[in-house]
Structure 1
Amino acid sequence: MTMRASDLDRVRALPLFSRASPEVFRDVTAGAFLQRFPAGTTLLMEGDTVDFLYVLLEGAVELQGSWKEKETTLALLRPVSTFILAAVVLDADALMSARTLERSEILMLSGEALRRTMRQDADFSFAVAEEVSGCYRGLVRAVKNQKLRGGVERLANYLITQRARQGLRDPIVLPHEKRVLASLLGMSPENLSRAFAGLSSYGVVVRGAEVSLGRPDALERLARPHPLIDNHMPAPAGGAGKAEIERWTTRSGRTCGSSLS
């Protein structure tokens, strides 16, 4: 599909590209094209050669991993987000599969053009390094969350995160199916249901996709959010890169749960 100027403007606003000169941005986006995909479309599979950097402009994407007959959700993405950046930089096979959760618009940028521009422009290379570093720190947080907490604590912190990102509203709305949420939190759907039931004494009431946090202070005492694991950054007005999301915890000077009060 022919690129629209408005699409390029949205990509230009991303921290990854915002400091690039017009010439560098033109080189990186040379040959880019926009695709619209229906829900449930597999964009790439683990082990695939990665020819493009993907930029999610509209919709939602799930990143998955698999082993034998098992699958797990590694990340859930909303606009505006880049993904598979590390594989593009290394010109390596994908370690994750990606599929759309709803109708999505995705901009695809040539991996070769990105690598070539990195070799030619130090400022752009530094911006890519920042973005990859943000992705790495996010991964460390996810691993610590999985290994150091039980399922109820992981769910409680997820609800605190969603409350912060949804403007402290009550009730919050779960942005994903409970099946997908369970996989993201490293739980079975049955264990997720039991975890929600276990949070009822902390004021959590579930009605379909809506979840009321009637006693947020009590929920926070259970969750014990920590800035070296959690990042309850409110939803940014524009696209925030992974590096900017990581910087928020340090710059805010707050514990992650302080936004509840």
Structure 2
Amino acid sequence: MRAAEKPEIAALPIFAEMETEQRERIFANAFLQVFPPALKLFDVGQKPDFLHILVDGLVELYTSNGDRTTTMAIMRPVRSFILAAAYTDQPYLMSARTLSASRILMIPSALIREAIDNDRALMQAAMKELSFGFRYFVRALTDMKLRQSVERLGNYLLVESDERGGAFQFDIPIEKRTLASLLGMTPENLSRAFSALGSHGVNIEGSVVQIVDRGKLVAFAKPDAFPTNDIASLGL
């Protein structure tokens, strides 16, 4: 990592409260790299050589079984992934690839394990990251079990709106094929779901979503009763 990059990285939530000596030791052995879109970062079953921290960009976490592939999560800045594997030194249960040009900090896993064990502030930050990941998958599993596909899409759009301060118009940040996989749908079903949401207060043109009647969409999708601002950005 170049000296000019250190102040920005030191200000990231996971590092902000660390002891200076421990943080400098991590920085001396870390790599901050820019990766192009559609680049595979690691595979299921691979041992975690690094903890990855997404500073800029988008990363897809996904898994496969035979010829079937499904999106598990979309990573947004600033989050680590996959901390659970890096800390326990266990094989990855998901693969990762960039969806856009992404700037990623890579810290050797052995070093991050040692630092977590010896720095209270980093340990607390790591616990928070793992908690975000746990809460995300509880919500995702609840969403899959309790909502029909059109309701899942409606709930996703409400979460995206909330992430933008309640915006009524926004661009879908990922390709529709990836969104369909994230929501457990086929692209064809996703297209039909968007059409169905037209009668529940949503207009869609290309990748641009307009929520023209939020109350109607809320009544249909029945979003979680508890705050959902931990869904779109998580650490796993």
Q: Which residue of 1 aligns with 2:110?
A: 112
- Structure-2 change in CA distance of 1:18 and 1:90 (3 Å): same
Within 5 Å, which residues of 2 pair with 1:101-250? 101-228=99-226, 231-232=228-229
Distance 1:28 1:47 in 2: 26
Structure 2 vs 1, CA of residues 133 and 116 (structure 1 numbering), >3 Å: closer, same or farther?
same
1:57 is displaced (CA, Å) by: 1.6
Aligned AA (2:171): V
The structural deviation recorded for 1:234 is 10
How do 1:8-23 and structure 2 match up within 5 A? Answer: 8-23=6-21
2:82 corresponds to: 84
* CA distance in structure 2 between the partners assigned to 1:56 and 1:36 by the alignment: 10
Q: Is contact 1:72–1:186 with CA below 8 Å preserved after alignment?
A: yes
Kept in 1: contact 2:132–2:230 (CA 8 A) = no
Q: Which segment drifts farther, 71-80 or 27-36? A: 27-36
Q: Which residue of 2 aligns with 1:60?
A: 58
Counting aligned pairs with the same residue, the percent is: 42
> Where does 1:33-48 land on structure 2 (aligned, <5 Å)?
33-48=31-46
- The 1:234–1:181 alpha-carbon spacing in structure 2 relative to 1, beyond 3 Å, is closer
Number of residue equivalences: 236
One-letter amino acid of the structure 2 residue matched with residue 188 of structure 1: T
Q: Give the counterpart letter for 1:13 in structure 2.
A: A
Shift of 1:91: 0.8
AA partner of residue 83 (structure 2):
L
SS state at 1:29 partner: helix
Aligned partner letter, 2:218: E
What residue number does 1:256 align with? Answer: none
Aligned residues of 1:156 and 1:223 also touching (Cα < 8 A): yes
Classify 1:75/1:49 alpha carbon distance in 2 versus 1 (closer, same or farther; 3 Å).
Answer: same
- 1:27 deviates by 2.4
* Inter-partner Cα distance in structure 1 for 2:229 and 2:125: 23
Unaligned runs of 5+ in 2: none
Check whether the contact 1:164–1:233 (CA below 8 A) recurs between aligned residues.
no
1:73 and 1:163 map into 2 onto residues whose CA distance is 21
Q: How far apart are residue 217 of structure 1 and its match?
A: 0.7
Q: What TM-score, normalized to structure 1? A: 0.84
Contact between 1:56 and 1:106, CA under 8 Å: does it hold in 2?
Answer: yes
Letter in 1 for 2:12: L
Q: Deviations over 1:56-91 (max 9, x none)?
A: 122211000111111000111122221111100001
Write the letter of the residue equivalent to 1:94. Y
1:28-51, Cα deviation, whole Å (9 max, x unpaired): 333101222111100000011111
Which runs of no fewer than 5 residues in structure 1 stay unpaired? 244-261
Distance 1:234-1:185 versus aligned 2 partners, 3 A rule: closer
Structure showing greater relative contact order (alpha-carbon pairs closer than 8 Å, 6 or more residues apart):
2
